[in-house]
Amino acid sequence: MSSFIAESELTCPTCGFSEVLTMPVDACLWYHECSACQTLLKPNPGDCCVFCSFGTVPCPPIQLHAKGNVEVH
């Protein structure tokens, strides 16, 4: 099927702690609580999820759009 990177390393902007998370394929993750300092991470304006803002890899829908596999609304 489609190939995308499902794991992203999320770096907390508050304390710098980073953790590898597996992204849900069909949904964007809006909020993530840092497991080190409990800061609730939220996406930056214009970003669709925390992975796009703080992760090493854009979220799956963005990756698929970039490859042209999914129709853009």
- The residue among 36 and 66 lying less far from Zn ion, judged by its C-beta, is 36
State the nearest-atom distance from the C-beta of 41 to Zn ion, in Å.
8
- The residue among 42 and 65 lying less far from Zn ion, judged by its C-beta, is 42
Q: Please list the residues that pair with 33 across neighbouring strands.
A: 40
State the nearest-atom distance from the C-beta of 18 to Zn ion, in Å.
9
Residues forming contacts to Zn ion in the complex (CB under 5 A) are 12, 14-15, 17, 34, 36-37, 39
